[in-house]
């Protein structure tokens, strides 16, 4: 479908997406945007940026950084605005019209991208600057921007011949649509399953908070009686942890891990095969043996082998611990005298029993201290102490859903840094997981200093009756994690959008998020924010001591399921022949190769592995572990100097958070830490070595 073919659209003056916002800082006016506005706004945005590109090409002056690269950075303002708003809503609150718009726009986005990257006169200007960059007195940030543009154009087909460019375009269109299909199927599968319990005996073992939440969910979905559980994490995790009914645990577990693998209309196995074949074709076009090589060329790891070696180092330390944990759980089951063998749907349940037996600690004891409001205040408090920023609720901003809250982020001198939106609870229109998005990208080209607008999206336990949202420790760490991404986006001082904020190498982007998780569970920090939601009393020293004692409890399981998924991702994309590929058989072959024990599944099986098949983490799931080497080592700097040490915090802000991608990642890290990271810090952090 050519862009010109979609002529019928809302007139420009009637479309609020094309108008300037009257809200503070130009914030989006969500209440004015209707689903029917987006397609027309995209078409106008494509048109405007094409005109800007044409003007760059038509410039008769010799190519310079400013009249070519700078001009590209200044182009596409409307498109950036529409993309920021549309794709955030499409993941959180989309309707059928928006989903149809996504399908219509996706091939047009491919065409538009190609209009830039396959534009020979434009690339000629970029190449002329790139080839002469040593003589241009560019700043280091400008060099990084130039290098990124050059790589983007080369990876986008600029050096391909005419026939190859045609093939590339077709591959990109098919790939984009296949990825959309994968995501739609995964969401439909998650929403399709419901476990309605009508016999109260089947609730045995569940904490009252989980029972109350299930009753409210049943009522909210029109069930006159019973308790409803679904495949949202706040529902299925406590069910597997506490429900005594083993048959129902089995049903819930299998429903969760078989999403997209039910041989129905939402089955993703064939979609996986299609995506992998298309990615391989793309890699071959560029002269690579496989997609993993193509994808990692400009990442910190550089090669699939380097990433794989790191994963196997961690795997080899974690697998024996996981096997020992399985044996301990089996011993507990044997003591019950039922003659049952440990299965995957038993792991959470007996792990929780073992936690209570060994440490007299259960998650239900901790939850009252981790209300969502307290945890969020704790994350804000850490940022204020370390980085000198404050978060002020702001009135008068438009929101896209009633549950969204908004804050203005202020620097220590009171100056405006960013707007921050939070969207914390599950709903049928929202995909699973947690993430950070730029609603508005930052830019300081020509001194305009347009500050970012950031959103954190999560799927936390909802409030229930008079009880506020009470988070598990895992959820509390998730909030701090996504807040770390938000800080990376909000505190950026990079001048050019292409390298601002989180626009960094995929295996570096998780450093700011993962390092923040450490503060969530530091005793000194918890004493300041973890207060009982009813009494206001701070978390007790006894509970903190128990938490510390359990810090490496179940770490074999947690590490194996995470590293296993990363290895699965690598294996998917390191193949050079998919002729006989079948998703389930391949997945089993990987599990067998690495020795994954049957009581543990990959954290994400292929048919619902959104990170890899409907996101930006293809050949990138390893980055969580790669970045954990950095975050574990980096946090030791704070432990050495004091976890609230202002000098260390300002050093980290200046050299990591503010810099974005304006320097090579390892250069930035060494500037902060003084040396390259020690990989053993990760193993120590996970309790895999002493």
Bridge partners (DSSP) listed for residue 450: 443
Compute the mean pLDDT over every residue in the chain, rounded to the nearest whole number.
95
pLDDT at 539 over 60: yes
From start to end of 384-452, where are the E strands? 390-393, 405-410, 416-423, 435-440
CATH of domain 368-549+623-685: 1.10.1370.40
Alpha-carbon gap, residue 76 to 81, rounded angstroms = 9
**Residue 357: count of CB within 10 angstroms of its CB:** 11
pLDDT at 303 over 50: yes
pLDDT computed for residue 12 by the predictor: 45
Q: What is the mean pLDDT of residues 287-297?
A: 95
pLDDT computed for residue 14 by the predictor: 84
pLDDT at 255 over 80: yes
Residue closest to 9 by CA, chosen among 46, 38, 52, 31: 38
pLDDT confidence tier of residue 366, bands split at 50, 70 and 90:
very high
**Residue 52: count of CB within 10 angstroms of its CB:** 17
pLDDT computed for residue 36 by the predictor: 96
Phi/psi at 522 (5° precision): -75, 130
Alpha-carbon gap, residue 194 to 176, rounded angstroms = 30
Q: What is the mean pLDDT of residues 277-292?
A: 96
pLDDT computed for residue 53 by the predictor: 98
pLDDT computed for residue 298 by the predictor: 87
Q: What is the mean pLDDT of residues 419-426?
A: 97
- As its CATH architecture, domain 8-159 has Orthogonal Bundle (1.10)
pLDDT computed for residue 363 by the predictor: 85
Instruction: Delimit the CATH 1.10.1370.10 region(s) of the chain.
Output: 269-361+556-613
pLDDT computed for residue 535 by the predictor: 96
pLDDT computed for residue 13 by the predictor: 53
3-class DSSP string for 2-21: CHHHCCCCCCHHHCHHHCCC
pLDDT at 423 over 60: yes
- In three-state secondary structure terms, 130 is helix
What is the tally of helices (H) and strands (E) in the chain? 27, 7
Q: What is the mean pLDDT of residues 424-435?
A: 93
pLDDT at 577 over 90: yes
Q: How far is CA 44 from CA 38, 51, 77, 523, in A?
A: 10, 11, 11, 53
Q: What is the mean pLDDT of residues 263-268?
A: 97
Alpha-carbon gap, residue 443 to 77, rounded angstroms = 10
Q: Can you give the C-alpha Rg of the chain in angstroms?
A: 25
pLDDT tens for residues 135-194? 999 999 999 999 999 999 999 999 999 999 999 999 999 999 999 999 999 999 999 999
pLDDT computed for residue 114 by the predictor: 93
Q: Where are the alpha helices (DSSP H) in 118-244?
A: 120-131, 140-155, 162-192, 208-220, 233-242
> Which one is catalytic: 102, 189, 325, 482?
482
Phi/psi at 455 (5° precision): -125, 140
- In three-state secondary structure terms, 406 is strand
Q: What is the mean pLDDT of residues 507-534?
A: 97
How much of the chain exceeds pLDDT 70, in percent?
Answer: 98
**How does DSSP assign 215-284, residue by residue?**
HHHHHHTT-SSSEEE-SSHHHHHHHHHH---HHHHHHHHHHHHTTT-SSSTT--HHHHHHHHHHHHHHHH
pLDDT confidence tier of residue 256, bands split at 50, 70 and 90:
very high
pLDDT tens for residues 560-569? 999 999 999 9
pLDDT at 418 over 60: yes
Burial class of 271 by CB neighbour count within 10 A (0 to 12, 13 to 18, 19+): buried
pLDDT computed for residue 509 by the predictor: 95
pLDDT tens for residues 42-75? 999 999 999 999 999 999 999 999 999 999 999 9
How many Cα atoms within 13 Å fall on the side-chain side of residue 187?
21
**How does DSSP assign 434-491, residue by residue?**
-EEEEEE--B-GGG--BPPEEEEE--PPPPBTTB--B--HHHHHHHHHHHHHHHHHHS
- In three-state secondary structure terms, 674 is coil
Alpha-carbon gap, residue 686 to 319, rounded angstroms = 13
Alpha-carbon gap, residue 448 to 385, rounded angstroms = 29
- As its CATH architecture, domain 269-361+556-613 has Orthogonal Bundle (1.10)
pLDDT confidence tier of residue 3, bands split at 50, 70 and 90:
very low
pLDDT at 502 over 90: yes
Q: How far is CA 164 from CA 107, 112, 281, 291, 545, in A?
A: 18, 17, 11, 17, 62
pLDDT confidence tier of residue 364, bands split at 50, 70 and 90:
confident
pLDDT tens for residues 448-458? 889 999 999 99
Strands 416-423 and 453-457: parallel
Instruction: Delimit the CATH 1.10.1370.40 region(s) of the chain.
Output: 8-159, 368-549+623-685
pLDDT confidence tier of residue 5, bands split at 50, 70 and 90:
very low
**Residue 468: count of CB within 10 angstroms of its CB:** 17
pTM of the model: 0.91
**Residue 144: count of CB within 10 angstroms of its CB:** 22
How much of the chain exceeds pLDDT 90, in percent?
Answer: 92
Active-site residue flag, 395: no
């Amino acid at each position: 479908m050519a862009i010109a073919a979609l002529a019928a659209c809302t007139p420009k003056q009637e479309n609020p997406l094309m108008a300037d916002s009257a809200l503070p800082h130009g914030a989006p006016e969500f209440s004015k945007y209707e689903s029917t506005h987006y397609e027309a706004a995209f078409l106008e945005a494509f048109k405007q940026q094409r005109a800007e590109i044409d003007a760059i090409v038509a410039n008769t002056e010799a190519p310079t950084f400013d009249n070519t690269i700078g001009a590209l950075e200044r182009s596409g303002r409307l498109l950036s605005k529409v993309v920021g708003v549309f794709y955030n809503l499409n993941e959180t609150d989309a309707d059928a019209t928006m989903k149809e718009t996504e399908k219509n726009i996706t091939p047009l986005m491919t065409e538009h991208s190609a209009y830039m990257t396959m534009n020979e006169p434009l690339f000629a200007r970029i190449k002329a600057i790139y080839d002469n960059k040593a003589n241009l007195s560019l700043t280091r940030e400008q060099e990084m921007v130039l290098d990124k543009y050059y790589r983007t154009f080369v990876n986008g087909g600029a050096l391909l011949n005419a026939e190859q460019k045609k093939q590339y375009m077709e591959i990109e269109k098919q790939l984009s649509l296949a990825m959309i299909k994968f995501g739609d199927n995964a969401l439909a599968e998650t929403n399709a399953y419901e476990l309605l319990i009508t016999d109260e005996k089947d609730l045995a073992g569940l904490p009252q908070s989980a029972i109350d939440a299930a009753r409210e969910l049943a009522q909210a979905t029109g069930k006159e009686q019973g308790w409803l559980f679904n495949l949202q994490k706040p529902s299925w995790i406590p069910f597997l942890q506490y429900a005594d009914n083993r048959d129902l645990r089995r049903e819930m577990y299998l429903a969760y891990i078989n999403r997209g693998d039910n041989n129905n209309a939402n089955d993703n196995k064939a979609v996986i095969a299609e995506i992998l074949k298309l990615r391989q074709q793309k890699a071959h076009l560029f002269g690579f043996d496989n997609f993993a090589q193509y994808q990692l060329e400009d990442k910190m790891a550089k090669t699939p082998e380097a990433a794989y070696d790191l994963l196997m180092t961690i795997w080899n330390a974690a697998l024996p611990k996981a096997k020992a944990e399985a044996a301990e759980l089996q011993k507990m089951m044997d003591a019950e005298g039922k003659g049952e063998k440990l299965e995957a749907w038993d792991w959470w349940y007996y792990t929780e029993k073992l936690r209570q037996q060994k440490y007299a600690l259960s998650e239900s004891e901790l939850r009252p201290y981790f209300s969502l409001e307290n945890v969020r205040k704790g994350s804000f408090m850490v940022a204020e102490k370390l980085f000198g920023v404050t978060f002020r609720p702001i009135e008068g901003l438009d929101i896209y859903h009633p549950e969204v809250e908004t804050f203005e982020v202020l620097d220590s001198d009171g100056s405006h840094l960013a707007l921050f939106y939070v969207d914390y609870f599950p709903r049928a229109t929202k995909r699973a997981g947690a993430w950070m998005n730029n609603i508005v990208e930052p830019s300081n080209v020509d001194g305009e200093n347009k500050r970012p607008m950031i959103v954190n999206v999560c799927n936390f336990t909802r409030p229930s009756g008079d009880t506020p949202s009470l988070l598990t420790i895992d959820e509390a760490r998730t909030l701090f994690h996504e807040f770390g991404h938000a800080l990376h986006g909000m505190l950026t001082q990079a001048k050019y959008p292409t390298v601002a904020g989180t626009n960094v190498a995929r295996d570096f982007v998780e450093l700011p998020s993962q390092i923040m998780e450490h503060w969530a569970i530091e005793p000194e920090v918890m004493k300041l924010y973890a207060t009982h939601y009813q009494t206001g009393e701070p978390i007790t020293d006894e509970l903190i001591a128990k938490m510390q004692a359990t810090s490496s409890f179940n770490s074999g399981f947690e590490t194996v399921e995470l590293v296993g998924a990363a290895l699965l991702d690598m294996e998917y994309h390191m193949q050079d022949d998919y002729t006989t590929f079948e998703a389930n058989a391949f997945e089993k072959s990987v599990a067998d190769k690495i020795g994954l024990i049957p009581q543990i599944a990959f954290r994400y099986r292929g048919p619902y592995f959104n990170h890899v098949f409907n996101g930006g983490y293809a050949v990138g799931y390893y980055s969580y572990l790669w970045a954990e080497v950095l975050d574990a080592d980096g946090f030791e700097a704070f432990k050495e100097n004091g976890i609230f040490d202002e000098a260390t915090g300002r050093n980290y802000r200046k050299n990591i958070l503010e810099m974005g991608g304006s320097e090579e990642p390892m250069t930035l890290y060494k500037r902060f830490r003084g040396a390259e990271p020690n990989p053993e810090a990760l193993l120590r952090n996970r309790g895999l070595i002493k």
